[in-house]
Structure 1
Amino acid sequence: MAENETHMSRRNLLAAGGATLAMGGGLAMGGSASPAAAAQNPPGGPAVPADTGAVQGGRIVFPNWRGSGDRAPPPPPAPMPPEKRVGFCVVGLGRLTLEELLPAFAECRKARLVALMSGTPDKAKLVAEQYGIAPEAVYGYDAWDRLRQNPAVQAVYVVTPNARHRDHVVAAAAAGKQVLCEKPMAASSAEAREMIAACAKANVKLMIAYRCQYEPYNREVTRLVRSGEFGKPRLIQAFNGQTTGLPEQWRLKRALAGGGALPDIGIYCLNGVRALLGEEPVSIQAQTHSPPDDPKFAEVEETVSFTLRFPSGTIAQCMSSYGVHESRRLSVRTAAAEIDLENAFAYEGQRLTVSHKDGKRESRDNRVLARKNQFALEIDHFARCVLEDRRPRTPGEEGLQDHVLMEAIYEAAPTGAPVKVGPPPGAGGGLDVTRGPDPDEAG
């Protein structure tokens, strides 16, 4: 055995430990052989080496080296070769792009960053140097025709202010590029419809970047609720709040943002509850508030509160504000349990607790899941949809429905009276009428 195999560091050993895989498998927890492990290590056949692993089904697999008291570690990443990944051009180099999205491409397995588009040339030049993007793959907002001619760019990710989304999505579709667009989808439902029509006409996919629908803890809450394990949800509370400074920022300008706390952070509550249940609300009540003495909120609301009633009888109370200490929480109450997700809409730090009766005791279970970058998950999901010609989980119709409901919230707020809403026309019954197939994380 080579020296570098016999003197593996503890860190490399930790990284080498694999879990049971959908392809290949490993040893089950506790050391007993699972069916997958039996296939991997057939009776009388060679065992997979504990620390060097083996190649099976195009992946590297390791047996579970942990004891029965620990969770099995996840399998090692299995990224596609770079030349086979979907090439993305990120449109807009603001805070979200630079702080979260570009770093997330390093964790993507099916996508790669190949181009940038920005209205600030000196910033674009520096970012391109930092991420190894060729100068000829850096574009201004007026260079869509040149972008069209770059075959390495298969998809664009639009991350500009809300009111710019329509123009950039329509231009990307006309250039023949697949489109991933940040939320909220646009500044109005009318713009959202134009974007859907443009992508349909160009025969390109359109996905809205609802990252929480790909984040593992939010998905686990959805699984728990829909499984019926603790009964039907009766009440849901969703809160997303933070303090906001810098009066000159675009999010406080109605012409660019389309609204205040609601389309920026309140949409996480709205979309999160809809995705959790899979239903569409039948009525909405709402109220908004802006401090009259704070010039930051001269154009947009500081705080919004709205109540959604669903066909199943579930009531969801949602609140969002630009004027409170940062808190992002989702709680679901059934007759048998309370499911509470702290930091539900945050970029990281999710903590899931399930409180329920356990015999004669009240049990509080802390559910701990493997850490995954939610931005990388959503980007890879879209890349997979492009590669396999799938409908995205969060297509344009998902973003449009949120705009329709946000407009109903603004309509309801002045009087507090309920406004009737429902599923999109022609959507029919059933769950998830605005969504594509559930993401398959094993893929």
Structure 2
Amino acid sequence: METITFFTGFNRRNFISRTARGIFAATLAPEIVRFAASAEPMGSPAPTPTSAAQGEPLPQDQRVGFALVGLGRLTQGQLLPAFRVSKRAKLTGLVSGDPAKAQKLAQENGVSTKSIYDYKNFDRIRDNQDVQVVYVVLPNSMHAEFTERSARAGKHVLCEKPMEVSLMKCQQMIDACRKAKVKLMIAYRIQYEPMNRAMQRMVREKAFGPVKYIESDNGQRVEKMEWRLSKALSGSGAVGDVGIYCINTIRFLLGEEPMEVFARTFRPPSDPRFKEVDATIIWQMRFASGVLANCMCSFDTYDTKSYRAVAERGTFGMNPSFPYHGLKMFAKPEQPPPPQIAESDQFANELDHMADCVINGRQPYTPGEEGLQDQRIIEAIFESARTTRAVTLPRFDKLDPFRGPIPE
């Protein structure tokens, strides 16, 4: 009986060394890319994930300063810790509508009280030379406002996904940053995570032959009423919050854009949580190369976060694929034994990429145009569900038409 082998471990020092010597590309060559279990000894403590960025950490006075706009669950649970293991970024500002929370987090994270702002006086951030980048971590419908205000203040912008709630708002963000000559990056952490990048290499180098089919799911159960269940604040409910991982990751793996989508939605009529947004959405995407993708997202299911590519000579993917920790890769057939990749801090990875872009004048790998394309697909999904027909999308034949230069 065939088995699926998982792995999560890889020595980071070896990873950097191999990359520097050009060996890592060969390590992931099609003939040897199969995945094995981590060789961590039983009972040993898991190492603290760090940034996967190459090179030594920069001195504090050479790092790029970031201000966080929004101090909710993601900021406190993931972003603040990410700054502690980042190599190129530092936290230099906080923006919140809760002064007590902001003061407490500033004290705990070494942020000057002079660099605390609320949503009304935020525009004063233009005078803060310690802040070069504003990271927008707010409900989706507030992204455009604070991106545009940040751009007018002369600050680069890193914005959480989904980019906004409409194509018009997304384009306004791109135009504002272009006019102000500042960078705009959308925080697609999966595209900076080394295991997912290894999966991309497998797809594009045809490790198992051409990929024919991809399936992906991202579901969870949202028990309490929150902004994600508000149409006005979220824009698209589960599709924009969790389904976007399926959309964006498949696009990232293939380097292609879907030509057509077909979707169905379900909303329990008696469930007060889903008065404004759908509970579960399924959709298919068709690509010019012939690849078909089947996806599901939900706010009303058991936790599931995975993707699987089926190629001519094998199948491979990640399960789980989208959580902040504990990612696992799989493939079958699984021989010969594969390399292993260590877990990294996914948010530190993206912080360091944005900082590198600011330091070296580069375009982000996931610029505003990448977020705009996802919003275009999201709107097509809802149009298809509403009309019960497949929706044709604009065709883009260029590989990776919306991404910037590949991160070093």
Of residues 370, 374, 377, the one that matches 2:342 is 370
| AA matched with 2:355 | A
Contact residue 217 and residue 297 of structure 2 kept, 8 A: yes
Q: Secondary structure at the match of 1:170?
A: helix
Equivalent residue number for residue 403 of structure 2: 435
1:321-380: CA deviations, max 9, x gaps?
111111100100001010021111111111111102xxxxx7596663112111100110
Bigger relative contact order (CA 8 A; separation at least 6): 2
Contact residue 304 and residue 319 of structure 1 kept, 8 A: yes
What pairs up with 1:199-210 in 2 under 5 angstroms? 199-210=177-188
Equivalent residue number for residue 279 of structure 1: 256
Q: Secondary structure at the match of 2:66?
A: strand
Whole-angstrom distance in 1 between the partners of 2:279 and 2:338: 34
Q: Secondary structure at the match of 2:17?
A: coil
Q: Return closer, same or farther for 1:418/1:114 CA change in 2, 3 Å cut-off.
A: same
* Percent of pairs with identical residues: 44
Equivalent residue number for residue 268 of structure 2: 291
Of residues 144, 156, 162, the one that matches 1:178 is 156
Equivalent residue number for residue 419 of structure 1: 391
Of residues 110, 113, 122, the one that matches 1:135 is 113
In the TM superposition, residue 148 of structure 1 has moved relative to its aligned partner by 0.5
Contact residue 363 and residue 405 of structure 2 kept, 8 A: yes
In the TM superposition, residue 145 of structure 1 has moved relative to its aligned partner by 3.1
Whole-angstrom distance in 1 between the partners of 2:60 and 2:341: 28
Q: Secondary structure at the match of 1:293?
A: coil
In the TM superposition, residue 21 of structure 1 has moved relative to its aligned partner by 6.0
Runs of 4+ in 1 over 3 A off after TM superposition: 14-19, 21-26, 74-77, 362-367
Point out where structure 1 has 5 or more consecutive residues left out of the alignment.
1-13, 27-73, 357-361
TM-score (norm 2): 0.87
* Aligned pairs, number: 370
* Residue 74 of structure 2 is aligned to residue 106 of structure 1: no
Q: Return closer, same or farther for 1:261/1:389 CA change in 2, 3 Å cut-off.
A: same
State the superposition RMSD in angstroms.
2.2
Equivalent residue number for residue 137 of structure 2: 159
What pairs up with 1:390-405 in 2 under 5 angstroms? 390-405=362-377
1:159-187: CA deviations, max 9, x gaps?
00000001000000000000000000011
In the TM superposition, residue 217 of structure 1 has moved relative to its aligned partner by 1.2
* Residue 362 of structure 2 is aligned to residue 384 of structure 1: no
Q: Secondary structure at the match of 1:309?
A: strand
In the TM superposition, residue 422 of structure 1 has moved relative to its aligned partner by 2.6
Contact residue 351 and residue 366 of structure 1 kept, 8 A: no
Of residues 170, 176, 183, the one that matches 1:198 is 176
In the TM superposition, residue 116 of structure 1 has moved relative to its aligned partner by 0.5
In the TM superposition, residue 225 of structure 1 has moved relative to its aligned partner by 0.5
Of residues 13, 17, 20, the one that matches 1:20 is 17
1:279-308: CA deviations, max 9, x gaps?
011110000111111000000011110100
Q: Return closer, same or farther for 1:301/1:16 CA change in 2, 3 Å cut-off.
A: closer
In the TM superposition, residue 84 of structure 1 has moved relative to its aligned partner by 0.5
Of residues 86, 94, 119, the one that matches 2:72 is 94
Contact residue 16 and residue 76 of structure 1 kept, 8 A: no
Larger Rg: 1
* Residue 314 of structure 2 is aligned to residue 337 of structure 1: yes
In the TM superposition, residue 143 of structure 1 has moved relative to its aligned partner by 1.9
Whole-angstrom distance in 2 between the partners of 1:415 and 1:25: 51
Equivalent residue number for residue 316 of structure 1: 293
Point out where structure 2 has 5 or more consecutive residues left out of the alignment.
1-10, 24-51
TM-score (norm 1): 0.80
Whole-angstrom distance in 1 between the partners of 2:292 and 2:13: 46
